Amino acid sequence: MKLKSFNYIFGLLIIFYTLPILSDEKIDIWKNKKEVPNKSQKTTEQDLSNDSKLDPFQKAKDIDKIQIQEGSVIQSDKQTVYGIYEPANYDFSLNMWSTTKADDFRSSLKRLNKINLSKSSNEILEYILFSFSYPPLGMTEQEFVKLKTDWLIQNDRIDLIESFLKQNEKFDSKSKVIQYLVDSNIASGNIKEGCEKINFIDANIKDAYLEKFKIYCLVFNKKKPEAQLLLDLLREQKQSSKFYDNKIDFLLGVSNTTSDKINEKNLLNFYLSSITIANFKYEPTTKTKPEIWRYLNAANLIKLEDASDKKKLQDLEKAANNNQLDKNKIFEIYKQIPFNLNTLVNAKNNYQTLNDSDARALIYQKYLLSEANENKIEHLFLLEELFKKSDLSNVYSKFLSERIEEIGIDNLPEKYREEALARVVSDEDIAFGKVKYNDKILHQSKIMKYFLEGESKKKIQKDIDKIFKKVIKNKKYFISAKDLALADSLINDGFSLPPSFKYDELSKKFDVPKNLLQLIDNDQKAFLALKIVEIIGEDEPYQLDPETIYFVTNLLNKMKLATIRNKVLNSALPLRT
């Protein structure tokens, strides 16, 4: 008995004295799950690269998060990453924000939201925002995912919203995102297409607003028994409403009457009001919700039945200027305003005696009646002045650009051409032409095939040896910043340049901003990429000056962001026809 007791006590002593040793041993606490950035550990991007791969189509996962302090596990919980893209596809990792402060991230995103970003800038921003990752330092998962979904809604990225919903099953702002998606389908005015598109949403995603729309779609597609079954389930769950029940019962034929009250609580209620009320009429105001404006536009429910109602016309003009109303609707209304023949003939003299809206309508009608291009452009420019006078330029700028393009710059008198050309709004979608290789210029040579076409390294190295030597022998050749951008990228990717090409010496004349180099020192890869989006901004990369192209590619090379770098190079360097 004493021996057993002794053995028991002795065993406890062994366990007690070996605990510190065991706690110091390296334990694989992550197993197959993604590593979490830890304040007590510094982890390099290279160390994490093998652990950062996610299936781009997998749903957001809960990931074990272990907080370690002084060698002991003190807390264990779950952390979820949200996104669309596998971070490794864009040279990022799950820990891409681990060294970035939340306030810096918020400030940068706030600035970007104020810029009318180019197509390339937007695409790079999407890679950064929607790669699966942990939030920046000091930011909660809830805020991080909200910033992402708010961006999707503000930029009306329906395609990305659908992808985000497919891959992220649970997040706090999910109901808001689903409602926006449903409203976008209703606001299109094409309910058949909207009902087809909404079917992609996984049946496991439950949301009352979505279920209500699905029930209506079943009614729309004449599947009333199925609609009734889902409606009964919704009512049992107490997720329906008195207004909704009233409308659906009427559409199902359960009731012969329905309320004439217009419900503006949400777009679905408003839509149901519009299709169930006989002779539906609605007067939108500046306080009307944007989604209701979009639906009214698509359904052609905005009309000015009384051309003498100047107050309503002015309200509609303001709505168009605020992007609530289709701008073309204003010009349709202008055509309806009656003027006698004498007023039209002497429009240039008479418009000054009219109120602002009538003056614009008169000059617009005079433009429509003009046959000579000189008269047309004169009235278009006069109309521009009248819109500016009333602070309604947003209504007119695109309209003016389109009318000038219809006439054609070359068809205008020479004295108007420069002024007219300045009014033409360039298309945001840059249509790149076919690449024309020119081996007499380094950054336009067939060496670019490596970045553009994925040419083999062995073949490109031969081209480098041949083309660089040929160019260097030309004493008149000037090594440009674009040439250095190419050279820097080739060196970064492991190619050898001829010793006679003094890259280090040539690159000294170009300064890279110190504040951006500091981000590299701090290993702030994702935040540096955000800064580069700010730099490119409204431009396409090929529109940047050569020095900016060089330092942008240099920074991307230093941070091993090859995918984004290639996007910049492919726009900025080749000669295209």
- Mention every residue, 6+ apart, whose C-beta is less than 8 A from residue 556: 529, 532, 562, 564, 565, 568
* pLDDT for 287 beyond 70: yes
| Element of type H or E holding 35 | none
Reported as a pLDDT band with limits 50, 70 and 90, residue 564 is very high
> Is the pLDDT at 14 greater than 60, yes or no?
no
549 falls in which pLDDT band (50, 70, 90)?
A: very high
The whole-number average pLDDT for the span 322-333 is: 89
Q: Cα–Cα distance between 217 and 222 in angstroms, integer?
A: 8
Instruction: Find how far residue 521's CA is from the centre of its chain.
Output: 29
Question: In the predicted model, what is the mean pLDDT of residues 244-267?
Answer: 94
Look at 26-35, 69-78, 352-361, 379-388 and tell me which has the smallest mean pLDDT. Answer: 26-35
- Of 25-39, 66-80, 187-201, highest mean pLDDT: 187-201
- The residue among 432 and 419 whose pLDDT is bigger is 419
Tell me which residue of 486, 478, 502 sits closest to 445, measured CA to CA: 486
pLDDT-based confidence at residue 65 (cuts at 50, 70, 90): very low
Arithmetic mean of pLDDT over the chain? 84
- Measured between its terminal Cα atoms, the distance across the chain in Å is 97
pLDDT greater than 80 at residue 40: no
| Confidence bin at 360 (pLDDT 50/70/90) | very high
Give residues with Cβ within 8 angstroms of 192, minimum separation 6: 220
Q: Which two tokens stand for residue 247?
A: 């409308």
What is the C-alpha to C-alpha distance for residues 184 and 178, in angstroms, rounded to an integer?
10
| Selection from 101, 99, 96, 103 nearest residue 127 by Cα | 96
State the CB neighbour count (10 A cutoff) for residue 131.
27
Q: Would you state the pLDDT for residue 4? A: 41
Q: Across 79-83, 280-284, 457-461, which has the greatest mean pLDDT?
A: 457-461
Q: Point out the least confidently predicted range of 4-18, 114-128, 331-345, 353-367.
A: 4-18
Q: Is the confidence at residue 120, as pLDDT, over 70?
A: yes
For 141-156, what is the mean pLDDT?
A: 94
Poorest-pLDDT segment among 55-64, 130-139, 424-433? 55-64
In the predicted structure, residue 215 carries a pLDDT above the cut 60? yes
The answer to whether the CB of 80 falls within 8 A of the CB of 60 is yes
Closest CA relative to residue 359, chosen from 373, 348, 370 = 348
- Residue 146: pLDDT over 90: yes
Lowest mean pLDDT among 180-194, 235-249, 337-351: 180-194
